Amino acid sequence: MLSAIPADAIGPVLWNALGYQYEAASMLGALAACGSVRLWITLNERERSGLVIAIDLTVSVISLLFTAGWVMTQRPQPFYALLGGAGFGALGVGIVAVALAWIKRVGFGTPPEVPAASPPSDNRNAPEA
């Protein structure tokens, strides 16, 4: 026999990770928002060198991890989790810009300047002193 369950008796689905309980909907929403923003930004990049892709991938993973950590500790409502995830994803744009500016300033990935070698001199015809 089936009976009706009051709506307030059913709570949100809770998951556990690293000893923290969090709402599944908030986590999925935040990670999806962060991943979507990072993907959208990555696909709109003009410069597609290997270094830029490596930095962008690293920043995307860090953004996703910060989003997951924020959801675990703050336990936001799903709407605020979406906003927070999108915010962490967009924050990655600034991190990538700072990282690329630092790499260009330091010169990482470019070969060092090698002075041009002078041709060997032929001293056989030089007068001896």
Q: Is residue 121 part of a domain?
A: no
Domain span at 97: 25-108
Q: Is residue 83 part of a domain?
A: yes
Q: Is residue 15 part of a domain?
A: no
Task: Domain count for the chain, please give it.
Answer: 1
Answer yes or no: are the C-beta atoms of 74 and 30 closer than 8 Å.
no
pLDDT digits (tens, 9 = 90+) for 3-55: 777 767 787 888 888 888 889 999 999 999 999 999 998 888 777 788 888 88
pLDDT digits (tens, 9 = 90+) for 51-87: 888 888 999 999 999 999 999 999 999 999 999 999 9
**Using 50, 70 and 90 to split pLDDT, how confident is the model at 128?**
low
pLDDT digits (tens, 9 = 90+) for 85-98: 999 999 988 888 88
